Amino acid sequence: MSEGIYREQFEVGDVLRVSCPSARARVVHVTPYEISVEWPWAQIDPDSAIRWNGHRTIPRTTPDDGWGGLFQIDPPSGHLEVGDSCLVGIPESLVRIIDIGRFDPPADVGWLPRPHTMLIVLPVDHPHDPHSEEEGDTIDLEAAAPIKIDLLARG
């Protein structure tokens, strides 16, 4: 969870420094394009209408735009197979908020804790296409993952 920053403080356009210490995860599925791991932080929500399986998918290769998302796998996912152990975390990154999702009641996403606020972010040097619905990565402010967030500049 972000340290010392409350969800109401964030605005679209803000520049953040984010990181998350790596945690051990087990590889559960591999395709030529992505790798799925048992997510080390969130718990399955037994009351959810969404049946999340406890896995998170991370791009295996860097897309054409040069950014595969916040969470990274070590060793590089090209060397991993189902059953292997790896580390997953966020290396220190500078990102810009391009959208904010606020949910009251918290969103039913299949895991606990349910999020009240999700930041949609892109690297600061990545162009933003306002017409793209699948652009960016999310930071769940209520996540169990120990994500560190520092506000560097107001948008």
Residue-wise pLDDT for 110-147, tens only, equals 999 999 999 999 999 877 666 666 678 999 988 889 99
Cβ atoms of 59 and 69 closer than 8 Å: yes
CB atoms inside a 10 Å sphere around CB 43: 12
82 DSSP 8-state letter: T
- The answer as to whether 53 is a domain residue is yes
Q: What is the mean pLDDT of the chain?
A: 86
**Taking the model in full, what pTM does it have?**
0.85
**Nearest residue to 123 via CA among 139, 147, 141:** 139
At 58-92, the pLDDT tens digits run 887 665 556 778 999 888 767 889 999 999 999 99
- The answer as to whether 101 is a domain residue is yes
Across-strand partners of 100? 119
| Domain of residue 55, residue span | 7-153
**Count of structural domains, the chain:** 1
- The answer as to whether 1 is a domain residue is no
Q: How far from 132 is each of 6, 13, 58, 99, 153, CA to CA, in Å?
A: 28, 17, 20, 12, 24
**Nearest residue to 152 via CA among 14, 12, 4, 8:** 14
